[in-house]
Amino acid sequence: MASSTPPEGNSPLMATHMSAQYDRLLQSPRGGTYSFTLEADEQARVLVNGMVLMDSIGADQEVQTKQLNLAPGNHHIQLRYRDHEGAANLRLSVGESQANSNLLEIAQYGSKATVI
């Protein structure tokens, strides 16, 4: 019987030259200031409602944090990622600045992706 799970170390997301795009809807009932923290080892771009908020291009693990004031309502968050070498390593967290909590988190470590 053939397995649909790739053998360890042979995952397609471990390969070089992989890319991924994550799309999430962030609901902001009251509006306010939100903190976006991006950690990426290669190329990553964060868009909020179609506008570029963060752009990361680098071979080392780079951490960026930006604050953004959002009006009440729904906001489209898009994370685009491209890995050229080695295992994928990416994390985006979004939270209300005053509450110090994550409302949205996207993480890609090697072959394992987590979206909350």
DSSP letter string over 59-97?
SS-EEEEEEEEE-SEEEEEEEEEEE-SSS-EEEEEEEET
The pTM of the full predicted model, rounded to 2 decimals, is 0.78
Structure tokens belonging to residue 114 = 């987590």
For the chain, what are the domain ranges? 18-115
**Sign of the dihedral through C-alpha 96, 102, 103, 105:** positive
Of residues 90 and 86, more confidently modeled: 90
Of residues 101 and 33, more confidently modeled: 33
41-67, pLDDT tens digit by residue? 888 999 999 999 998 876 566 789 999
- pLDDT band of residue 24 (cuts 50, 70, 90) is very high
Taking alpha carbons only, the member of 82, 110, 81, 91 closest to residue 10 is: 110
Amino acid at 88: A
The correct answer on CATH 2.60.120.1560 for the domain covering 18-115 is yes
Average pLDDT over residues 7-28: 69
Taking alpha carbons only, the member of 114, 113, 111 closest to residue 8 is: 111
Does residue 84 surpass a pLDDT of 70? yes
